[in-house]
Structure 1
Amino acid sequence: MSWFKQGLCFLPVFLVIWSSSTFIVTYIIALFRHDVDIIFPYISDTGANPPESCIFGLMTFISACAGTATIYARYKYVEKLSADTKVVNPYLNKTAFLFGMVSCLGMCIVATFQETAVTVVHDIGALLFFVPGILYIILQSVISHRAYPFGSSMGVCRVRSGVAFLAFLAFFPTVICAFFVTQTTLHRDTGDKDYPYHLASAVCEWIVAFSFICFFLTYIDDFKLFTLQVRTQYKE
């Protein structure tokens, strides 16, 4: 486990493990309590009713904080890399950082406003999470390719591009099919006319969510290479 202590790799490791646990734990609890169906509910459905809603809110907020720290660390790493090698445009790095921060804000909104309590605000938070989040991983894929051979290997760059492309493709059926879902109940009947749209939207939502997790998983090797330091200075 000595690799875990190298650089800041504990940040993406914690983010990946915690975020995965957030989705899986709340799904299992909701399933055990018969609050959702076993076949692909929406992620937010698994955190709609207490007590899983409380767990979902807390764990998602912690994921947002871990995501913020990881995105900031990545931003500072690319900033230093760009200053030394001039391979990445600073504005591209800042734009990616901004999208990442907005995505984390969306996670906080999703965590705070449950789907069944304040639906409109919850949906706005979900869009703020998914849209800037996808743009973030796309820009980070571009940054990785431009920074090569500094930083990540070409294999990792290609994996990031593939994951970003998958998330981009899955996002559209998630949103489009959701418009054709007329029922908002947590339990669905396979005979419902809008059930195929619900199933397609929910499956693609899970794909997008775990694409984010897989993308941050590729940060682990990069984060072994650097550390961040806080400097304290008194003003006279």
Structure 2
Amino acid sequence: MFWFKQGLCFLPAFLVIWSSSTFIVSYIIALFRRDIDIIFPYISDTGATPPESCIFGLMTFISACAGVATIYARYKYVEKLSEETRVVCKCLNQAALVLGLLSCLGMLIVATFQETTVPEVHDVGAVIFFTSGIIYTILQSVISYRAYPFGSSMGVCQARLGIAVLATLAFFPTVICAFFVKQSVLHRTTDDEDYAYHLASAVCEWIAAFSFICFFLTYIDDFKLFTLRVSTEYED
């Protein structure tokens, strides 16, 4: 049996591959159309101009749906694990679920409201996405350690913690440097007064985003162990 047919491990695998492709495809299209600069634009810059904005929006919607499915499946897995072992607090698992779903909502807001058209709403969506997503990775790292040795191995627990720390460390420079970026333009030059802040903010944004995405790679082994079924009941 192929590994991706075991349990639900295809969910996180698809989420990581598709989300990474979303960023990369929109970046390549925007680059070939010369809508952005080659050196580290903001992720949102790659999906700000048609036709890449349309592709970015569509692919991000699919990523958000895959994210919701993966986050909910993880929630049910931890819930089932806690019923048998009582190692994870129910409120902690529920908090992680809510934050994970909020991050997906933020992702949709970012893709729907481009930074060049409705920047205020776009920025709110970005803050929701990154803040909720990073806290979600932290909570899941805590859950993993509390559930050990049930569920994940110590190596996986350490990997999750490392990714969560990296995403957190990258998030703060992203926000702080963004406050000093005075121009909201797609093309930058090294002569711009705020270029250094823009570059630092953009680099850290890419690191934070891919750290959050790669976090779901650590779910693959766990998701091999279970499946979810929908039960239908008919009432007269």
1:209 and 2:209 are equivalent in the alignment = yes
* Matched residue type, 1:149: P
Q: Structure 2 unaligned runs (5+)?
A: none
Question: Which aligned runs of 4 or more in structure 1 are off by greater than 2 angstroms?
Answer: none
Q: Report the Cα distance in structure 2 between the residues aligned to 1:210 and 1:221, rounded to whole angstroms.
A: 20
Partner of 1:226: 226
Q: Give the deviation of 1:2 after TM superposition.
A: 0.9
2:98 maps to 1:98: yes
CA deviations on 1:56-107 (whole Å, 9 max, x unpaired) are: 0000111000000000000000000000000100110000000001111111
Q: Could you tell me which amino acid in structure 2 is paired with residue 94 of structure 1?
A: Q
Percent identical across equivalent pairs?
A: 78
The alpha carbon displacement at 1:213 in A equals 1.5
1:176 aligned partner: 176
Secondary structure of the residue that 1:193 maps to in structure 2?
coil
Query: What's the CA shift for 1:235?
Result: 2.2
Cα distance in 2 for partners of 1:223, 1:65 equals: 17
The offset of 1:133, in angstroms, is 0.5
TM, length-normalised to structure 1: 0.99
Other structure's SS at 1:218 match = helix
Aligned to 1:235: 235
**What's 1:193 paired with?**
193
Q: Specify the alignment match of 1:62 in structure 2.
A: 62
Query: Which amino acid in the other structure matches residue 190 of structure 1?
Result: T
In 2, Cα distance between equivalents of 1:204 and 1:25? 20
Whole-Å separation in 2 of the counterparts to 1:61 and 1:126 = 15
Q: TM-score, normalised by structure 2?
A: 0.99
Counting matched residue pairs gives 236
Identify the residue that residue 48 of structure 1 maps to in structure 2.
48
For residue 221 of structure 1, what is the amino acid of its counterpart?
Answer: D
SS at match of 2:7: coil
Correspondences of 1:129-144 after superposition (within 5 Å): 129-144=129-144
Q: What corresponds to 1:38 in structure 2?
A: 38
Q: Provide the C-alpha distance between the structure 1 equivalents of 2:170 and 2:73, rounded to a whole number of angstroms.
A: 27
| Alpha-carbon RMSD | 0.7
CA offsets 1:5-61 (integer angstroms, 9 cap, x no match): 000001001000000000000000000000000000000000000000000000011
Q: Distance in 2 between matches of 1:216 and 1:60?
A: 16
Q: Aligned partners of 2:54 and 2:33: how far apart in 1?
A: 14
C-alpha distance in 2 between matches for 1:192 and 1:115: 20
Counterpart of 1:76 in structure 2 is: 76
Aligned to 1:9: 9
Match of 2:26 in 1: 26
Q: CA deviation at 1:115?
A: 1.0
- Report what 1:114 is aligned to: 114
Distance 1:214 1:61 in 2: 18
